[in-house]
Amino acid sequence: MTARVELKPGQKHRVITGHPWVFQTEVSSVEGSFEPGDVVDVVDSKGRFIGRGYINPASQILTRLLTREDEDINEEFIIRRLEAAVLFRKQIYSDKWPPESSGIGTRLVFSEADFLPGLVVDDFGGYVVFQTLTLGMDRWKDAVIRGITDLLAPKGIYERNDAPVRSLEGLPEIAGFVGQPFDPLVEIDENGVRHLVDVAKGQKTGYFLDQQENRSAVRWLAKDKKVLDAFSYSGGFGLSLAKGGAGHVTAIDVSEAALDLFQASVKLNQLNTEFQLRAANAFDELRDYDRKGEFFDVVVLDPPAFARSRRTVPRALAGYKEINLRAIKVVRPGGFLITSSCSQHLLPAEFEGVIEDAARDAGRVLRLLERRGQARDHPVLVGVPETEYLKCRIYQVL
Protein backbone atom coordinates (compact mmCIF):
# COMPACT_ATOMS: atom_id res chain seq x y z
CA MET A 1 0.00 0.00 0.00
CA THR A 2 1.22 3.45 -0.92
CA ALA A 3 1.48 5.74 2.09
CA ARG A 4 -0.81 8.79 2.10
CA VAL A 5 0.23 12.33 2.99
CA GLU A 6 -2.86 14.17 4.20
CA LEU A 7 -3.04 17.95 4.03
CA LYS A 8 -4.36 20.04 6.92
CA PRO A 9 -7.90 21.36 6.53
CA GLY A 10 -8.75 25.04 6.17
CA GLN A 11 -5.51 26.18 4.52
CA LYS A 12 -4.73 27.38 1.05
CA HIS A 13 -2.34 24.75 -0.18
CA ARG A 14 -0.29 25.69 -3.22
CA VAL A 15 -0.06 22.00 -4.12
CA ILE A 16 -3.80 22.03 -4.82
CA THR A 17 -3.52 24.89 -7.28
CA GLY A 18 -0.57 23.59 -9.24
CA HIS A 19 2.63 23.83 -7.20
CA PRO A 20 4.57 20.55 -6.80
CA TRP A 21 5.69 21.04 -3.19
CA VAL A 22 4.16 20.02 0.14
CA PHE A 23 5.86 21.47 3.22
CA GLN A 24 6.03 19.60 6.53
CA THR A 25 3.92 22.37 8.12
CA GLU A 26 1.04 21.74 5.69
CA VAL A 27 0.53 18.12 6.63
CA SER A 28 -1.81 16.76 9.31
CA SER A 29 -0.72 13.13 9.08
CA VAL A 30 1.04 10.48 7.04
CA GLU A 31 -0.90 7.22 6.92
CA GLY A 32 0.84 3.95 6.17
CA SER A 33 4.47 2.94 6.24
CA PHE A 34 7.18 4.27 3.99
CA GLU A 35 10.92 4.63 3.67
CA PRO A 36 12.43 8.08 3.05
CA GLY A 37 12.51 8.59 -0.73
CA ASP A 38 9.47 6.36 -1.40
CA VAL A 39 6.60 7.34 -3.66
CA VAL A 40 3.51 8.44 -1.72
CA ASP A 41 0.06 9.81 -2.49
CA VAL A 42 -0.93 13.32 -1.46
CA VAL A 43 -4.58 13.77 -0.51
CA ASP A 44 -6.55 16.76 0.75
CA SER A 45 -8.17 16.89 4.19
CA LYS A 46 -11.19 15.05 2.79
CA GLY A 47 -9.04 12.26 1.41
CA ARG A 48 -9.30 13.33 -2.25
CA PHE A 49 -6.32 12.46 -4.43
CA ILE A 50 -4.13 15.44 -5.36
CA GLY A 51 -1.11 13.71 -6.81
CA ARG A 52 1.77 11.32 -6.36
CA GLY A 53 5.34 12.17 -5.48
CA TYR A 54 8.30 11.25 -3.33
CA ILE A 55 8.69 11.82 0.39
CA ASN A 56 11.65 12.81 2.54
CA PRO A 57 10.95 13.57 6.21
CA ALA A 58 14.49 14.97 6.55
CA SER A 59 13.58 17.89 4.28
CA GLN A 60 11.34 20.90 4.98
CA ILE A 61 9.73 20.03 1.66
CA LEU A 62 8.16 16.76 2.74
CA THR A 63 6.85 15.77 -0.70
CA ARG A 64 7.51 16.85 -4.26
CA LEU A 65 4.87 15.76 -6.74
CA LEU A 66 5.84 13.80 -9.82
CA THR A 67 2.34 13.52 -11.27
CA ARG A 68 -1.26 14.55 -10.72
CA GLU A 69 -2.53 11.44 -12.51
CA ASP A 70 -3.25 8.08 -10.92
CA GLU A 71 -0.34 6.40 -12.72
CA ASP A 72 2.57 4.17 -11.71
CA ILE A 73 5.88 5.81 -10.92
CA ASN A 74 8.51 3.49 -12.34
CA GLU A 75 11.56 3.55 -14.63
CA GLU A 76 9.36 3.96 -17.70
CA PHE A 77 7.68 6.98 -16.13
CA ILE A 78 11.04 8.66 -15.45
CA ILE A 79 12.22 7.88 -18.97
CA ARG A 80 9.01 9.28 -20.52
CA ARG A 81 9.57 12.52 -18.64
CA LEU A 82 13.21 12.62 -19.75
CA GLU A 83 12.12 12.08 -23.33
CA ALA A 84 9.68 15.00 -23.16
CA ALA A 85 12.40 17.24 -21.72
CA VAL A 86 14.85 16.27 -24.46
CA LEU A 87 12.22 16.77 -27.19
CA PHE A 88 11.62 20.32 -25.97
CA ARG A 89 15.33 21.18 -26.25
CA LYS A 90 15.36 19.64 -29.70
CA GLN A 91 12.61 22.12 -30.61
CA ILE A 92 14.61 25.05 -29.23
CA TYR A 93 17.80 24.02 -31.01
CA SER A 94 16.33 22.29 -34.05
CA ASP A 95 19.09 23.49 -36.38
CA LYS A 96 21.82 22.47 -33.94
CA TRP A 97 20.52 19.07 -32.88
CA PRO A 98 21.97 16.82 -31.58
CA PRO A 99 24.42 18.76 -29.37
CA GLU A 100 27.11 16.27 -30.31
CA SER A 101 26.98 17.37 -33.97
CA SER A 102 27.02 21.14 -33.41
CA GLY A 103 28.92 21.25 -30.14
CA ILE A 104 26.30 23.32 -28.32
CA GLY A 105 25.72 23.20 -24.61
CA THR A 106 22.16 22.93 -23.31
CA ARG A 107 20.26 22.18 -20.13
CA LEU A 108 18.25 19.08 -20.98
CA VAL A 109 16.40 18.82 -17.68
CA PHE A 110 15.61 21.74 -15.39
CA SER A 111 14.16 20.03 -12.34
CA GLU A 112 10.62 21.14 -11.39
CA ALA A 113 10.16 22.98 -14.70
CA ASP A 114 10.54 19.63 -16.49
CA PHE A 115 8.36 17.79 -13.96
CA LEU A 116 11.39 15.91 -12.67
CA PRO A 117 11.96 17.66 -9.32
CA GLY A 118 15.52 17.40 -8.08
CA LEU A 119 17.01 16.43 -11.43
CA VAL A 120 19.41 18.56 -13.46
CA VAL A 121 20.90 17.32 -16.73
CA ASP A 122 23.23 19.34 -18.95
CA ASP A 123 24.59 18.31 -22.34
CA PHE A 124 27.94 19.77 -23.38
CA GLY A 125 28.48 18.82 -27.00
CA GLY A 126 27.46 15.21 -26.39
CA TYR A 127 28.94 14.84 -22.91
CA VAL A 128 26.18 14.65 -20.34
CA VAL A 129 26.46 15.87 -16.74
CA PHE A 130 23.71 15.20 -14.22
CA GLN A 131 22.77 15.91 -10.62
CA THR A 132 20.16 14.14 -8.51
CA LEU A 133 19.74 16.72 -5.77
CA THR A 134 16.96 15.13 -3.69
CA LEU A 135 16.68 11.73 -2.03
CA GLY A 136 13.50 10.95 -3.93
CA MET A 137 15.18 11.63 -7.28
CA ASP A 138 18.44 9.98 -6.27
CA ARG A 139 16.45 6.75 -5.99
CA TRP A 140 15.81 6.94 -9.74
CA LYS A 141 19.44 7.48 -10.66
CA ASP A 142 19.67 4.19 -12.58
CA ALA A 143 16.57 5.07 -14.60
CA VAL A 144 18.01 8.51 -15.33
CA ILE A 145 21.27 6.97 -16.56
CA ARG A 146 19.40 4.41 -18.65
CA GLY A 147 17.21 7.12 -20.12
CA ILE A 148 20.15 9.39 -20.95
CA THR A 149 21.97 6.48 -22.56
CA ASP A 150 19.00 5.29 -24.63
CA LEU A 151 17.77 8.72 -25.68
CA LEU A 152 21.08 10.42 -26.41
CA ALA A 153 23.80 7.80 -26.78
CA PRO A 154 26.18 10.32 -25.21
CA LYS A 155 29.96 10.32 -25.67
CA GLY A 156 30.26 10.21 -21.89
CA ILE A 157 28.31 10.70 -18.65
CA TYR A 158 29.52 12.49 -15.53
CA GLU A 159 27.76 12.62 -12.16
CA ARG A 160 28.15 15.93 -10.30
CA ASN A 161 26.48 15.01 -7.06
CA ASP A 162 29.04 16.98 -5.06
CA ALA A 163 26.48 19.78 -4.60
CA PRO A 164 26.19 21.02 -0.99
CA VAL A 165 22.34 21.17 -1.21
CA ARG A 166 22.35 17.38 -1.12
CA SER A 167 23.19 17.53 2.59
CA LEU A 168 19.71 19.02 3.25
CA GLU A 169 18.35 15.73 1.94
CA GLY A 170 20.75 13.59 3.95
CA LEU A 171 22.66 12.64 0.81
CA PRO A 172 26.45 12.32 0.49
CA GLU A 173 28.51 14.49 -1.88
CA ILE A 174 29.85 12.30 -4.66
CA ALA A 175 31.10 12.82 -8.20
CA GLY A 176 32.63 10.78 -10.97
CA PHE A 177 32.35 9.15 -14.37
CA VAL A 178 29.43 6.86 -15.08
CA GLY A 179 30.72 4.16 -17.37
CA GLN A 180 33.71 4.89 -19.58
CA PRO A 181 36.01 7.70 -18.36
CA PHE A 182 36.83 10.55 -20.77
CA ASP A 183 38.81 13.78 -20.80
CA PRO A 184 36.66 15.97 -18.48
CA LEU A 185 37.78 19.12 -20.30
CA VAL A 186 35.16 19.26 -23.03
CA GLU A 187 34.59 21.93 -25.65
CA ILE A 188 31.34 23.63 -26.57
CA ASP A 189 30.38 26.21 -29.17
CA GLU A 190 28.25 29.06 -27.87
CA ASN A 191 27.09 31.10 -30.84
CA GLY A 192 30.43 30.98 -32.53
CA VAL A 193 32.61 31.16 -29.43
CA ARG A 194 34.51 28.09 -28.32
CA HIS A 195 34.48 27.42 -24.58
CA LEU A 196 36.27 24.84 -22.51
CA VAL A 197 34.07 23.28 -19.86
CA ASP A 198 35.56 21.29 -17.01
CA VAL A 199 32.75 18.90 -16.16
CA ALA A 200 34.71 17.34 -13.28
CA LYS A 201 36.16 20.37 -11.46
CA GLY A 202 34.19 23.34 -12.83
CA GLN A 203 31.59 25.14 -10.73
CA LYS A 204 28.11 23.52 -10.59
CA THR A 205 27.93 21.26 -13.66
CA GLY A 206 30.92 23.02 -15.23
CA TYR A 207 29.40 25.98 -17.07
CA PHE A 208 26.60 28.51 -16.54
CA LEU A 209 24.21 27.75 -19.38
CA ASP A 210 21.47 29.97 -17.96
CA GLN A 211 23.23 33.12 -19.24
CA GLN A 212 23.77 31.79 -22.76
CA GLU A 213 21.21 33.95 -24.54
CA ASN A 214 22.12 37.03 -22.51
CA ARG A 215 25.76 36.74 -23.53
CA SER A 216 24.77 36.79 -27.18
CA ALA A 217 22.18 39.52 -26.66
CA VAL A 218 24.84 42.02 -25.57
CA ARG A 219 27.30 41.38 -28.37
CA TRP A 220 26.01 44.34 -30.39
CA LEU A 221 27.32 46.85 -27.87
CA ALA A 222 30.88 45.54 -27.78
CA LYS A 223 32.52 46.84 -30.96
CA ASP A 224 35.88 48.47 -30.16
CA LYS A 225 34.89 48.79 -26.53
CA LYS A 226 36.87 48.53 -23.32
CA VAL A 227 35.06 45.91 -21.25
CA LEU A 228 35.18 44.87 -17.61
CA ASP A 229 33.84 41.37 -16.98
CA ALA A 230 33.44 41.14 -13.20
CA PHE A 231 32.71 37.69 -11.71
CA SER A 232 33.78 36.32 -15.08
CA TYR A 233 34.13 32.63 -14.21
CA SER A 234 35.51 31.00 -17.38
CA GLY A 235 34.69 33.99 -19.58
CA GLY A 236 31.11 33.50 -20.70
CA PHE A 237 30.46 37.23 -21.14
CA GLY A 238 34.02 38.35 -21.77
CA LEU A 239 34.53 36.00 -24.71
CA SER A 240 31.14 36.80 -26.21
CA LEU A 241 31.87 40.53 -26.06
CA ALA A 242 35.30 39.88 -27.57
CA LYS A 243 33.55 38.05 -30.39
CA GLY A 244 31.41 41.17 -30.75
CA GLY A 245 34.57 43.17 -31.40
CA ALA A 246 35.62 44.45 -27.97
CA GLY A 247 39.11 45.94 -28.11
CA HIS A 248 40.00 45.13 -24.55
CA VAL A 249 38.51 42.81 -21.93
CA THR A 250 39.55 42.87 -18.28
CA ALA A 251 38.16 39.94 -16.32
CA ILE A 252 38.02 39.54 -12.56
CA ASP A 253 37.28 36.38 -10.64
CA VAL A 254 38.48 35.08 -7.26
CA SER A 255 38.91 31.62 -8.71
CA GLU A 256 42.31 30.96 -10.32
CA ALA A 257 40.92 27.74 -11.77
CA ALA A 258 38.14 29.68 -13.53
CA LEU A 259 40.67 32.09 -15.03
CA ASP A 260 42.87 29.21 -16.21
CA LEU A 261 39.87 27.90 -18.14
CA PHE A 262 39.19 31.40 -19.45
CA GLN A 263 42.79 31.71 -20.65
CA ALA A 264 42.63 28.31 -22.36
CA SER A 265 39.42 29.34 -24.15
CA VAL A 266 40.98 32.63 -25.25
CA LYS A 267 43.63 30.56 -27.04
CA LEU A 268 40.98 28.45 -28.79
CA ASN A 269 39.34 31.47 -30.41
CA GLN A 270 40.91 33.76 -32.96
CA LEU A 271 40.00 37.10 -31.45
CA ASN A 272 41.47 40.54 -32.00
CA THR A 273 40.99 41.45 -28.37
CA GLU A 274 43.47 42.22 -25.65
CA PHE A 275 42.71 40.27 -22.49
CA GLN A 276 43.73 40.92 -18.94
CA LEU A 277 42.63 38.25 -16.47
CA ARG A 278 42.89 39.12 -12.79
CA ALA A 279 42.44 36.76 -9.85
CA ALA A 280 41.03 39.13 -7.27
CA ASN A 281 38.02 40.22 -5.26
CA ALA A 282 35.71 42.15 -7.58
CA PHE A 283 34.52 44.44 -4.76
CA ASP A 284 38.09 45.60 -4.11
CA GLU A 285 39.07 45.90 -7.74
CA LEU A 286 36.04 48.01 -8.61
CA ARG A 287 36.78 50.36 -5.75
CA ASP A 288 40.39 50.68 -6.93
CA TYR A 289 39.30 51.55 -10.49
CA ASP A 290 37.03 54.21 -9.05
CA ARG A 291 39.86 55.64 -6.91
CA LYS A 292 42.27 55.66 -9.83
CA GLY A 293 39.64 57.19 -12.10
CA GLU A 294 39.79 54.31 -14.58
CA PHE A 295 36.68 53.97 -16.73
CA PHE A 296 35.18 51.23 -18.91
CA ASP A 297 32.74 51.40 -21.81
CA VAL A 298 30.96 48.25 -20.67
CA VAL A 299 30.83 46.65 -17.23
CA VAL A 300 29.39 43.16 -16.70
CA LEU A 301 28.40 42.09 -13.19
CA ASP A 302 27.42 38.48 -12.66
CA PRO A 303 28.02 37.64 -9.00
CA PRO A 304 27.08 34.40 -7.25
CA ALA A 305 23.75 34.34 -5.38
CA PHE A 306 24.09 36.67 -2.39
CA ALA A 307 20.69 35.60 -0.95
CA ARG A 308 20.42 31.90 -0.11
CA SER A 309 17.07 32.29 1.66
CA ARG A 310 14.36 34.92 2.06
CA ARG A 311 15.83 35.67 5.50
CA THR A 312 19.16 36.77 4.05
CA VAL A 313 17.62 39.09 1.46
CA PRO A 314 18.27 42.32 3.44
CA ARG A 315 22.00 41.57 3.63
CA ALA A 316 22.04 40.46 0.02
CA LEU A 317 20.40 43.74 -1.03
CA ALA A 318 23.26 45.61 0.60
CA GLY A 319 25.76 43.46 -1.32
CA TYR A 320 24.02 44.01 -4.66
CA LYS A 321 23.80 47.73 -4.00
CA GLU A 322 27.48 47.95 -3.12
CA ILE A 323 28.70 46.10 -6.17
CA ASN A 324 26.35 47.91 -8.56
CA LEU A 325 27.25 51.30 -7.09
CA ARG A 326 30.93 50.62 -7.62
CA ALA A 327 30.28 49.35 -11.13
CA ILE A 328 28.12 52.33 -12.16
CA LYS A 329 30.85 54.71 -11.01
CA VAL A 330 33.39 53.24 -13.41
CA VAL A 331 31.16 53.23 -16.49
CA ARG A 332 32.11 56.01 -18.90
CA PRO A 333 29.14 58.32 -19.57
CA GLY A 334 27.10 56.75 -22.37
CA GLY A 335 28.51 53.31 -21.62
CA PHE A 336 26.66 50.18 -20.54
CA LEU A 337 26.07 48.14 -17.41
CA ILE A 338 25.02 44.50 -17.79
CA THR A 339 24.05 43.40 -14.32
CA SER A 340 22.61 40.11 -13.07
CA SER A 341 21.31 38.42 -9.98
CA CYS A 342 20.77 34.68 -9.75
CA SER A 343 19.22 34.82 -6.26
CA GLN A 344 15.77 33.26 -6.55
CA HIS A 345 14.78 34.94 -3.28
CA LEU A 346 15.44 38.41 -4.66
CA LEU A 347 12.41 39.61 -6.60
CA PRO A 348 12.92 41.38 -9.93
CA ALA A 349 11.46 44.62 -8.59
CA GLU A 350 13.77 44.50 -5.56
CA PHE A 351 16.76 44.02 -7.84
CA GLU A 352 15.82 46.95 -10.04
CA GLY A 353 15.16 49.04 -6.93
CA VAL A 354 18.68 48.39 -5.71
CA ILE A 355 20.15 49.47 -9.02
CA GLU A 356 18.04 52.60 -9.01
CA ASP A 357 19.34 53.44 -5.52
CA ALA A 358 22.91 52.75 -6.57
CA ALA A 359 22.59 55.06 -9.57
CA ARG A 360 21.18 57.82 -7.41
CA ASP A 361 24.04 57.47 -4.93
CA ALA A 362 26.51 57.55 -7.80
CA GLY A 363 24.82 60.66 -9.18
CA ARG A 364 24.22 58.96 -12.53
CA VAL A 365 21.15 58.54 -14.73
CA LEU A 366 20.31 55.09 -16.07
CA ARG A 367 18.27 54.00 -19.06
CA LEU A 368 16.93 50.46 -18.95
CA LEU A 369 17.36 48.87 -22.37
CA GLU A 370 16.41 45.28 -21.74
CA ARG A 371 14.99 43.04 -19.04
CA ARG A 372 16.18 39.51 -19.53
CA GLY A 373 16.04 36.25 -17.63
CA GLN A 374 17.30 32.71 -17.88
CA ALA A 375 17.74 30.98 -21.25
CA ARG A 376 14.82 29.15 -22.85
CA ASP A 377 16.19 25.76 -21.88
CA HIS A 378 15.62 26.84 -18.23
CA PRO A 379 11.89 27.55 -18.60
CA VAL A 380 9.89 29.18 -15.83
CA LEU A 381 6.94 27.08 -14.73
CA VAL A 382 4.06 29.48 -14.17
CA GLY A 383 2.77 29.24 -10.62
CA VAL A 384 6.12 27.93 -9.41
CA PRO A 385 8.18 31.05 -8.67
CA GLU A 386 11.09 28.93 -7.48
CA THR A 387 11.80 28.05 -11.12
CA GLU A 388 12.45 31.73 -11.93
CA TYR A 389 15.71 32.98 -10.53
CA LEU A 390 17.91 34.77 -13.06
CA LYS A 391 17.55 38.49 -13.63
CA CYS A 392 19.73 40.20 -16.21
CA ARG A 393 19.36 43.91 -16.95
CA ILE A 394 21.03 45.96 -19.63
CA TYR A 395 21.36 49.65 -18.75
CA GLN A 396 22.93 52.61 -20.39
CA VAL A 397 24.74 54.76 -17.86
CA LEU A 398 24.58 58.48 -18.61
- Active-site residue set: 342
With CA atoms as reference, report the closest residue to 143 among 187, 180, 178, 173. Answer: 178
Beta strands in 169-272 (DSSP E): 174-178, 185-190, 193-198, 226-230, 248-253
- 66 vs 301 by CB, closer to ligand SAH: 301
Residue 281, interface with ligand SAH (CB under 6 A)?
Answer: yes
**Minimum CB–partner distance for residue 209 and ligand SAH (Å):** 9
**Minimum CB–partner distance for residue 302 and ligand SAH (Å):** 3
Other beta carbons within 10 angstroms of residue 134's beta carbon come to 23
DSSP 3-state percent helix, strand, coil across the chain (nearest 5): 35, 30, 35
- 140 vs 207 by CB, closer to ligand SAH: 207
**Residue 364, Ramachandran bin (φ over 0: left; ψ between -120 and 50: alpha; else beta):** beta
Q: Which of the residues 217 through 246 are near ligand SAH (CB under 6 A)?
A: 231-234, 236-237
- 86 vs 277 by CB, closer to ligand SAH: 277
**Minimum CB–partner distance for residue 215 and ligand SAH (Å):** 6
With CA atoms as reference, report the closest residue to 62 among 161, 162, 135. Answer: 135
* 111, 134, 205, 211: residue in contact with ligand SAH (rule CB under 6 A): 211
- 67 vs 203 by CB, closer to ligand SAH: 203
Rounded CA-CA distance 247/242 in Å is 7
Residue 105, interface with ligand SAH (CB under 6 A)?
Answer: no
Q: Which stretch binds ligand SAH (CB under 6 A): 73-81, 135-143, 181-189, 249-257?
A: 249-257
| 65 neighbors 29 (Cβ within 8 angstroms) | no
**Minimum CB–partner distance for residue 313 and ligand SAH (Å):** 18
Residue 306, interface with ligand SAH (CB under 6 A)?
Answer: no
What track of x and - describes contact with ligand SAH for positions 34 through 53 (by CB under 6 A)?
--------------------
Q: What letter does residue 33 receive in the DSSP assignment?
A: -
**Minimum CB–partner distance for residue 354 and ligand SAH (Å):** 17
- 169 vs 302 by CB, closer to ligand SAH: 302
Number of residues that bind ligand SAH (CB under 6 A): 20
Q: 358: exposed, middle or buried (C-beta count within 10 Å: 0-12, 13-18, 19+)?
A: buried
Q: Which residue is nearest to ligand SAH (CB)?
A: 236
Amino acid at 192: G
| 313 neighbors 305 (Cβ within 8 angstroms) | no
Rounded CA-CA distance 134/163 in Å is 11
* 185, 283, 347, 364: residue in contact with ligand SAH (rule CB under 6 A): 283
Rounded to 10 degrees, the C-alpha dihedral 133/135/140/141 comes to: 50
What track of x and - describes contact with ligand SAH for positions 170 through 209 (by CB under 6 A)?
---------------------------------x----x-
What track of x and - describes contact with ligand SAH for positions 324 through 353 (by CB under 6 A)?
------------------------------
| 210 neighbors 302 (Cβ within 8 angstroms) | no
Rounded CA-CA distance 112/386 in Å is 9
Backbone angles phi, psi at 163, to 5 degrees: -80, 130
* 161, 255, 263, 269: residue in contact with ligand SAH (rule CB under 6 A): 255
- 56 vs 339 by CB, closer to ligand SAH: 339
What are the residues binding ligand SAH (CB under 6 A)?
203, 208, 211, 231-234, 236-237, 252-255, 258, 281-283, 302-304
